[in-house]
Homo-oligomer: A and B are copies of this chain.
């Protein structure tokens, strides 16, 4: 480790010393976000937003490929509309920001800044849907939402965040269930293959489900500190909203029926997962598919050969720039060593060095951020090599995260054991549960762990971790402490 590197690393608190401070150091120093002068709100800076743009691309493509269209619904929801679904309003009321004044005028009815848009979609769908021919309605929106949070942390929990929310309406219960499960698969595919984050998928418990849903499906990821993070949710809303918003259709059998609905969303929270799953003491590590720059070029420019190297590196940049997302860093005010460290910290998957000796030998130097491996590559093999490397880094990052998840998945057969594992190593902990909400709450009170997910193909039959009762229907679920 060079001296420069030492200086850099000092700026980031080591994970082992204070994980939370490490996280805050990383996001601030890599210029992903900054704190805004508004309680709990963040500014997503260009480097952070560029990651979000790549994520949007990958996810938007999948959302459209599965037949959905984008639209835009209003930011404000009248109080009376939000109050129509009782569970829903109870769940969200404590965290709603309210508009009470427009210009100089006091509003006769307060407007909620949308915490989520089921109510607004419900109201419009009741107008738009008349016949079975109108179904399914498959709409998504990319939007900002606001939830007035007491304690916040950039990306993970902020008063305003960006997300996509899909809202669909179907003819039958089966169609809605199929849609909710399909979108969970879309999320899993996107998060695993584009973000290199392995996830567990399955059902949420009644206690943890979305306010107003019949069933909530989710994907859950494990951060490198052993805490879980809910990475995406897909809800089968049943007919709850259809009934209160009166969304009906005339079916082929000439009967008027309520539609079946789903909603599903992922948010900028996923960037928090990206940081915590892949990052290390040197900073970010971004998978190539969502990296703003897949490689960064750092010319090595001794004074005498400066012109020659800059000319050559610019030539190379021109060759590469249409094939890869490449950044040429030819700033004069920083040394190559300083740049190496900065781009490592910013998590660029590949560094390309080119200096006088490399030009002589018709080669470049490549260094991987994920393994630190250093390679000398001939110029005429460079493009192939880069393509291969990008794929390999993407795969290896997922594999590394998968190994971590596996190594940090434990089994507990008693509440004591569960508590011990949580104290010593955290991670995902498999344990049997009788399905009783009192047992779920007892685990939480004793250990701060919640049921993260009930797997689709859960093992059955063991004794409940909390009450000890044995039942053939008891399911093996995943407990963890969560963000």
Contacts and interface: CB of A to CB of B under 8 A. Distances in A.
Interface in A84-102: 93-102
Contacts of A70: 46, 49-50, 53
B97 A101 contact: yes
B111 A102 contact: no
A456 to B, nearest CB: 32
Contact of A36 (B74, B101, B139): B74
Given A94-B104, A124-B43, A160-B76, A50 B38 contact: no
Contacts of A45: 71
B110 A101 contact: yes
Given A70-B50, A72-B44, A77-B38, A101 B104 contact: no
Interface string A138-161: 010001101010000000000110
Number of copies: 2
Given A36-B124, A111-B38, A333-B133, A103 B99 contact: no
A124 B34 contact: yes
A103 B111 contact: no
Contact of A103 (B38, B74, B95): B95
A81 interface: yes
17 contacts: A36-B74, A38-B78, A41-B74, A41-B75, A43-B74, A44-B73, A48-B71, A49-B70, A49-B71, A72-B162, A75-B113, A76-B160, A94-B104, A97-B99, A97-B111, A102-B159, A144-B144
Interface of A: 34, 36-38, 41-46, 48-50, 52-53, 69-78, 81, 93-105, 110-111, 113, 120, 123-124, 127-128, 133, 139, 143-144, 146, 148, 159-160, 162, 333
